[in-house]
């Protein structure tokens, strides 16, 4: 297997970086790659700089779901746009990215779950989605071999899936063919600022002049911004995923209950995880951001397991510097790929739970386990905005585990913010100022 991506993966785009560009994109995950693609299509000279490898962090480690089901209502129009882009982009590469429309199902373990899912349908109807509630019998028919009877489910047939470790590098290839310059193994140490505005970036190999910069740094974004005096209460949480060896496909889409989320992969195995469970390494940023997370903690006090300290070099590790000089080696060079050790106990439990959930499939054999660090926000929606205090800087981060599916839509939106083209969506909910203007942290009705 070739997933996820690691630092020992050969660089496809080694550079060198140009000395000048119209726009610099920082970060080679799905958001950065898609932003670079749409900037190139808009005629911009765009260079994307990635400290390690394209898609090596969360963008190759996610579940591979491309879903509108359960989204925050303000995300729905953008993910619908993203789905159209996914279908078009899949035809523009010579690689099979595994894009399939197989649906997503949330299994209701109780009448309370059923009612919660049913309440979300008002948002589905408002946007013309094909989401619907299934009875207990309909659920059993949709997903055979379930060991228990569920109260029912919510099902969205239009939802899709893809193989993220294949898809994001394939999108990067499209971006390069359309004129974007990608450079791996090139960390951005900071912004080059003149007269209070962006004049470019300072990389480990020198300066690049550019009047516009897009930060799509995932788990590293808040650390980068902190150096420039911009506070974003973004935290990074660890999520573990298990891959099984090939098994029968009883259901080709994605499904989840409170214990196991599963998706059948193109190689015949299943990817297993637990929805709603993650682990936070407590560090300085966690303490600084605590007040913003009060609403989320009250709503789901047991959804995150707290771990006492992050390993050395992690974005919020106690020993990670928050300030460094332009000619110093930055934290981004010291850890080029954030590759967290998975929770082995959780992985073993997921295998047992999936076997119990699907007894008719036979032995569930382990193939691989990995983990990723998800950049999350207090209200579980991202920041997609220009930074008022630093003209020329645009931020797209904090996708909260939702970034893969919505990536092409957010990339097009970020490109429009940079060029001044029509954004086409209401971005008020995603504004950066919500963390400083006294706004209450409002958890959306996403499920």
153 pLDDT more than 80: yes
- Listed in sequence order, the residues at least 6 apart from 380 whose beta carbon sits closer than 8 Å to its beta carbon are 72, 296, 400, 443, 444, 446
- pLDDT at residue 309 in the model: 86
Q: What is the DSSP annotation of 33-84? A: HHHHHHHHHTT--EEEE-SS-TT-SGGGTS--EE--TT--TTTHHHHHHHHH
For the stretch 183-220, pLDDT in tens is 999 999 999 999 999 999 999 999 999 999 999 999 99
Q: Work out the percent of the chain whose per-residue pLDDT is above 70.
A: 99
- pLDDT at residue 1 in the model: 45
What value does the mean pLDDT take over residues 439-444? 91
277 pLDDT more than 50: yes
pLDDT class of 302 with cuts at 50, 70, 90: low
Say if residue 95 is exposed, middle or buried (CB neighbours under 10 Å; 0-12, 13-18, 19+).
middle
Homologous superfamily of 23-103+158-435 in CATH? FAD/NAD(P)-binding domain (3.50.50.60)
- pLDDT at residue 2 in the model: 60
- Listed in sequence order, the residues at least 6 apart from 163 whose beta carbon sits closer than 8 Å to its beta carbon are 3, 64, 97, 98, 265, 266
| Residue-range domain boundaries for the chain | 23-103+158-435, 104-157
> Rounded CA gap, 317 and 182, in Å?
29
| Residue 377 three-state SS | coil
- pLDDT at residue 3 in the model: 75
Beta bridge partners of 301: none
For the stretch 335-350, pLDDT in tens is 999 999 999 999 999 9
394 pLDDT more than 90: yes
Say if residue 306 is exposed, middle or buried (CB neighbours under 10 Å; 0-12, 13-18, 19+).
exposed
Which phi and psi angles does 221 have, rounded to 5°? -65, -45
């Amino acid at each position: 297997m070739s997933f996820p991506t690691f630092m020992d993966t050969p660089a496809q785009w080694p550079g060198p970086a140009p000395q000048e560009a119209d726009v610099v994109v920082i970060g080679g995950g799905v958001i950065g790659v898609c932003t670079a693609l749409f900037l190139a299509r808009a005629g911009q000279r765009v260079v994307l700089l990635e400290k390690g490898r394209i898609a090596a962090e969360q963008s190759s480690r996610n579940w591979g779901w491309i879903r509108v089901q359960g989204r925050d209502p303000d995300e729905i129009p953008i993910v619908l746009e993203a789905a159209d882009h996914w279908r078009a982009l899949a035809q523009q590469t010579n690689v099979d990215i595994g894009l399939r429309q197989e649906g997503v199902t949330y299994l209701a373990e109780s009448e309370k779950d059923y009612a919660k899912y049913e309440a979300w349908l008002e948002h589905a109807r408002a946007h013309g989605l094909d989401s619907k509630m299934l009875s207990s019998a309909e659920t059993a028919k949709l997903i055979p071999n379930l060991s228990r009877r569920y109260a029912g489910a919510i099902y969205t047939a239009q939802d899709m899936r893809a193989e993220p470790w294949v898809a994001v590098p394939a999108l990067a290839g499209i971006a390069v063919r359309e004129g974007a310059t990608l450079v791996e193994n090139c960390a951005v140490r900071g912004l080059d600022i003149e007269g209070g505005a962006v004049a470019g970036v300072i990389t480990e190999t020198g300066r690049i002049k550019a009047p516009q910069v897009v930060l799509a740094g995932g788990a590293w974004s808040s650390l980068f911004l902190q150096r420039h005096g911009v506070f974003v209460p973004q935290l990074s949480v660890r999520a573990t995923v298990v891959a099984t060896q090939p098994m029968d496909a009883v259901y080709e889409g994605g499904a989840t209950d409170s214990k196991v989320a599963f998706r059948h992969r193109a190689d015949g195995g299943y990817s297993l995880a637990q929805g709603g469970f993650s682990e936070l390494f407590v560090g300085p940023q966690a303490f600084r951001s605590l007040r913003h997370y009060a609403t989320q903690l009250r709503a789901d006090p047991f959804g995150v397991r707290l771990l006492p300290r992050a390993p050395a070099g992690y974005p919020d590790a106690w020993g990670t510097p928050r300030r460094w000089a332009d000619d110093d080696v930055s934290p981004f060079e010291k850890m080029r790929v954030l590759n967290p050790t998975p929770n082995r106990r959780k992985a073993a439990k997921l295998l047992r739970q999936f076997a119990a959930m699907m007894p008719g499939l036979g032995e569930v054999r382990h193939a691989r386990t990995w983990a990723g660090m998800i950049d999350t926000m207090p209200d579980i929606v991202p920041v997609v905005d220009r930074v008022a205090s630093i003209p020329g800087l645009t931020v797209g981060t904090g996708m909260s585990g939702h970034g893969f599916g919505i990536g092409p839509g957010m990339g097009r939106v970020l490109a429009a913010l940079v060029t001044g083209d029509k954004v086409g969506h209401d971005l008020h909910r995603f504004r950066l100022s919500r963390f400083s203007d006294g706004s209450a942290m409002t958890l959306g009705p996403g499920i």
